Structure 1
Amino acid sequence: MIPLQGNRLTSKAREAFGLHSLGWSSFQQLCLTITREVLGQTVESFLDSGDGGRDGAFVGTWKTARQEHLSGPFVVQCKFTSKINFTLKASDLFDEAKKVKKLVTRGLCDSYVLMTNAEISGTGAEKIQSVFKAVGVKHVVTFGSTWINQQIRESKRLRMLVPRVYGLGDLSQILDERAYL
């Protein structure tokens, strides 16, 4: 449970949400919600299995806050870990890079957005970007746990849309048949 004081998050909650406890499916839903609500892009999501290396996809012009305009096919990939304080390294993504290379070859990935609940250092982000650029991706963006936690902290609407970040289960886990009578 995320501690609240009035309508504000306490200092402990400001540090980090328990993203590792969400599970991969809820984390993927969180990432796609962040893509829509924070980054302003509606992405297509795919089945949990057989996604071909794409948890989400977008084709068109992506306008960033820095007024940079990127266009073409985008792949959004959500990498979840249940390990607390895990730092993602480029070497953890070599299998992923092979999938992305196939997507690039088929014209399905000019830009790659990696979202993870793992920690990513600055030098780690550079190395990860190099891995994906080496297989033909033109633009690579990495969003790690620090950035995701910041978005959750700063967006009341995001917290409302993804109530699991408060440590609550979804309603089907909370309600039983008595609630339907």
Structure 2
Amino acid sequence: MKRDFFLYELDDHEFEGLVIQIAKFLLGLGVSPFATGKDGGRDGKFLGTAERFPSTNSPLVGHVVLQSKHINAPDRSCSDRDFHRLLKDEHPKIKARVKDGICDHYMVFTNRKYTAGTDAKLVSQLMGCKVQSAHILGVEYMHSLLESHTDLQKFLPNARDKAPFVFDPEEFIEVIHAFRDYTKEDDESAYSSAFDFESVKLKDKNRINGLTEEYFKQVIVARSMPYFDKIKDFLSNPRNREFADIYADSAAEMKESILLHRSKFPNFDHVFNFLYGHIQKQRPALRQKRRLVSILLHYMYCHCDIGSKDMTGLVEAEHADA
């Protein structure tokens, strides 16, 4: 089984840093870091003969432009419409670089799943911009490279996180405080929720909120649920009442805001991805505790502290389909 390096846990700049190191391995030390150009795009660059990409026998030669497309989600694909739009938006910039003679080859690094057959049309569309070659390197390629060349793993920012994950009450307190500070900001994007343990079957709740089965099983059940008992024990301990109250306030704020902005997201996977990325962006100190942030968000959801548990909309929708 291939190892998962949790690339979705990184923020955009951390992912860019990793991409540059991988590009140096594939192309050479002459790779330039990502920088914002006149057209607003962020590109990495290389000029010369690649050391080993796509192979040592037939390396890229000339100007290579690098793109980094990161998303805070473990289950997204290059087939998703939003990714198609992202690449389509790059086409005019690519054509301009080709015209200026500074783009012979185009490489896109992403932590999305790439299927050679299904997503080959994306490469064809990039080739339509008149580059000599186009390449999309998805999460499977990056995982394989990191696994087979272990020296590259030292460039993983989340490799410096505590592993395996250990529940540390002091860190949990810090994260709770950070959640409280985040939700108290006068910011429309800060979300809310009510401290209410009235339960609803998770299968029904997932349908009500539009959480995909893949995300629920692969992320929440497999990676977060093993730590729920420790969080519950901590919050239910009378000695921790102060922190339980802070948790309750944060959850209440988050739930209210989620309900207000829910229509902006196609499913609840996207809500989690937004919250996870935005909370860390606002609180950089949490980057070394990124897994605990994710686990706490999932705990709030599964204990009905965030997300809707109202069956009315679900029942009405089912009758409408009948």
TM-score w.r.t. length of structure 2: 0.45
| Structure 2 gaps, min length 5 | 163-283, 289-322
| Separation (CA, whole Å) in 2 of partners of 1:124 and 1:138 | 21
Q: Deviations over 1:139-161 (max 9, x none)?
A: 1122100010111222221112x
Contact 2:106–2:135, Cα closer than 8 Å, also in 1: yes
| Structure 1 gaps, min length 5 | 1-10, 175-181
Alignment partner for residue 63 of structure 2, among 73, 84, 90?
Answer: 73
Give the deviation of 1:83 after TM superposition: 2.3
Give the deviation of 1:54 after TM superposition: 4.5
Q: How does 1:9-158 map to 2 (within 5 A)?
A: 14-37=2-25, 39-42=26-29, 43-47=31-35, 49-50=36-37, 52=39, 53-64=41-52, 65-89=55-79, 91-92=84-85, 93-158=87-152
Task: Give me the identity figure in percent.
Answer: 25
User: Segments of 4+ in structure 1 off by > 3 A?
Assistant: 49-54
Partner of 2:186: none
Classify the secondary structure of the residue corresponding to 1:91: helix
Higher strand proportion (structure 1 or 2): 1
Contact 2:27–2:49, Cα closer than 8 Å, also in 1: no
Higher RCO (C-alpha 8 Å, min separation 6)? 1
Q: Deviations over 1:111-136 (max 9, x none)?
A: 01111011111124421211111111
Classify the secondary structure of the residue corresponding to 1:119: coil
- Corresponding letter in the other structure for 2:20: L
Contact 2:15–2:70, Cα closer than 8 Å, also in 1: yes
Partner of 1:166: 159
Q: CA RMSD in A?
A: 2.3
Classify the secondary structure of the residue corresponding to 2:93: helix
Partner of 2:277: none
Aligned residues: 157
The higher radius of gyration belongs to 2
| Separation (CA, whole Å) in 1 of partners of 2:118 and 2:102 | 25
Contact 2:18–2:156, Cα closer than 8 Å, also in 1: no
| Separation (CA, whole Å) in 2 of partners of 1:136 and 1:69 | 19
